[in-house]
Amino acid sequence: MYTDVQELLQRAIEENKPLSFVVLQSEMKLTEKTEEEVFAGLKQTFSIMEKSATNALEEPLNSVHSLITGVAHRQFLYSSQENSFLGPVLNLMMARALSSSETNAAMGLICAAPTAGASGIVPAVILTAAEHLGADQKKVLEGLLTASGIGAIITRNATVSGAEGGCQAECGVAAAMAAAAIVEMAGGRPQQCIEAASFALINVMGLICDPIAGLVQLPCAYRNASQSINAFLSADLALAGQVCPIPLDEVIDAMFKTGKMLPMQLRETALGGIAATPTGRKLAEEIYKK
């Protein structure tokens, strides 16, 4: 069992095992499930993630009052262009992140990882990384275990609620989870997984939650795309040997305290940020009139 990142990391180092191994052992103890049962559950969860990340790629999903219908399809079409700045792979990853957001807006099945508003990041990042690395299913599910371990610690010691901590606590945490996962999938050391999660959270520190009309659509969907990129760049920073001087436990605490400092207008109330712009208010009025 572990209660913070340092304990998780120390156990991995002592046993000379990846983070996913420690998370697996903890999960088996907590749930009294076998390793096979845990992996069966992970397989089912990732199947849901994979479907949500592809649902809206080929054609837009129709939904009532959606502000993001068609965003995934548009990005998917663009991903085939060779002259894009980020290239086909990263544009496809963004399309996948947008697809999960669009699926959520259309009342489709998603996996809240850690929340519905951030549901596109972990699936898009892990799927894209798996293709790049040629990773098999077991490696993917081990990455998911590592992601869940980081997410569980942050949920325990801080928050993953936009209403409590801003978007840094939702999309930022998802990016941290995903970054740690793909570093392990790439063969990185446990410490490098932790470094990647630290970079991801630091990169998004203080990000507000300002959904137009109070709906988990805009700017949420585009932040799913941007934080997928954050996860990739944070993983590369860690794999390159970059070291974050602030321990992840302290970064998590700083994120939590920063969220508490945000005024309530910037924490999912739709009273600040882009939700409070003239156009944001007009869109909200149109939605609620319907």
Determine the Cα angle at 163 with ends 116 and 228, to 5°: 45
User: Residues 6 or more apart from 24 whose CB is under 8 A from it?
Assistant: 35, 38, 145
Please give the single-letter amino acid code of residue 23.
Answer: V
The tens-digit pLDDT sequence of the chain (290 residues) is 799 999 999 999 999 999 999 999 999 999 999 999 999 999 999 999 999 999 999 999 988 789 999 999 999 999 999 899 999 999 999 999 999 999 999 999 999 999 999 999 999 999 999 999 999 999 999 999 999 999 999 999 999 999 999 999 999 999 999 999 999 999 999 999 999 999 999 999 999 999 999 999 999 999 999 999 999 999 999 999 999 999 999 999 999 999 999 999 999 999 999 999 999 999 999 999 87
CA of residue 102 relative to chain centroid, distance: 15
**Token output for 71:** 């965003």
Q: The tokens 């999912």 sit on which residue?
A: 268
**Token output for 194:** 């932790």
Q: In angstroms, what is the C-alpha Rg of the chain?
A: 18
Residue ranges making up the domain that contains 273: 5-289
SS3 209: strand
Please give the single-letter amino acid code of residue 161.
Answer: S
Query: Looking at residue 122, which CATH number applies to its domain?
Result: 1.10.4100
Domain tally, the chain: 1
